[in-house]
Amino acid sequence: MTPLLAIEKVTKTYGGVRAVDGVCLQLAEKGGIRGLIGPNGAGKSTLLNLICGLERPTAGEIYFKGEGITSMPPHQISALGIGRTFQATQLVEHLTVAENVMVGRHLHTRVGFLTSGFWLPQIWREENRNRIEAHQILDFLGLLFKAGRSIQHLSDGEKRLVELGRALALEPALLLLDEPAGGLTPGEVKVLGEMIHRLRDRGVTVLIVEHHMGLVMEISHWITVLHHGKVIAEGPPEEIKRDQAVISAYLGRGGSLA
């Protein structure tokens, strides 16, 4: 069976530094949650950037649904079904919550640039359809009651969920989450974990980069560990907790991830 995502011997160098060093990784499952962990500077965010086209590999190939995407620009990769969130939320402050989610619908918009300057019936229908889709996503995220509010009035946790909603508006088969629990309260982290589980149940495959060990160990069915750009371990959470190479990379000898 063709894997959803296949990364084959991918390397990314900056001068003499190898941020990603010969990484091989496959996501074959539909609706799985894969954790991608490692110490600071391990190459995790760089690998996500390579997958979604924000950066190009120095060597190696990346395939999505069997199609080579190594040299594709980001908008084409998104159109194939890869969504992405970032470490720092990138929302439009002067737009409402619903309008920020609607931004993610742009790849499914059929009205062209020239016709969008006129308030024609087809433009109104598409705008209304996109707003309905955005409200459905916000309902799923538990934020429908804040659809008309400004982003500036949301908590950090709510902003994370809105960014997640914008990514979901792309209708992704694969969702890349880059430290979504950063800056969240314990209660917000719990809500985030529940939301990621619900996405899995909907058939969305999730690749999550996260430093919050409690979250990633709880929600992931399989974990890949990077250190100095290389994969040093893979396996289910209980095995990763006990892996001495992983423990050493994070904490030094004698530590524990449990």
How confident is the model over 51-109, as pLDDT tens digits? 999 999 999 999 999 999 999 999 999 999 999 998 877 888 889 999 999 988 776 66
Residue 71 lies in a domain: no
* pLDDT for res 106: 72
Nearest to 221 by CA among 245, 242, 197: 197
pLDDT attached to residue 113: 42
Element (H, E) at 237: helix 237-242
Spatial contact of 149 and 99, defined as CB atoms under 8 Å apart = no
Q: Which amino acid is at 90?
A: Q
Over 50: is that where the pLDDT of 166 sits?
yes
- pLDDT tens digits, 224-235: 999 999 999 999
In a domain, residue 146? The reply is: yes
Q: Tell whether 11 is covered by a domain.
A: no
Q: What is the DSSP string of 42-107?
A: SSHHHHHHHHTTSS--SEEEEEETTEE-TT--HHHHHHHTEEE--SS----TTSBHHHHHHHTTGG
Residue 123 is predicted with a pLDDT of: 66
Q: Is residue 165 in a domain?
A: yes
Report if residue 20 sits inside a domain: no
Which carries the bigger pLDDT value, residue 250 or residue 6?
6
What are the tens digits of pLDDT across the range 94-140?
Answer: 899 999 999 887 766 655 444 445 555 666 677 788 889 999 999 99
Assigned domain for 62 exists? no
Give CA 87 to chain center in angstroms.
10
Model confidence, pTM: 0.88
pLDDT at 240 over 90: yes
Instruction: Give the separation between CA 34 and CA 41, rounded to whole angstroms.
Output: 19
Predicted local confidence at residue 254, as pLDDT: 47
34 forms beta bridges with 207, 222
Domain containing residue 245 = 31-42+81-251
Interstrand relation of 222-227 and 205-209 (parallel, antiparallel or unpaired):
unpaired
pLDDT tier at 206, thresholds 50, 70, 90:
very high
pLDDT higher for 241 or 29?
Answer: 241
pLDDT of 236 strictly over 60: yes
Q: How many domains does the chain have?
A: 1
Determine the Cα–Cα distance for residues 149 and 212; give it in Å rounded to an integer: 29
Write the CATH number for 217. 3.40.50.300
In a domain, 192, yes or no: yes
- The closest alpha carbon to 32, from 163, 161, 219, belongs to 219
> 167 in a domain, yes or no?
yes
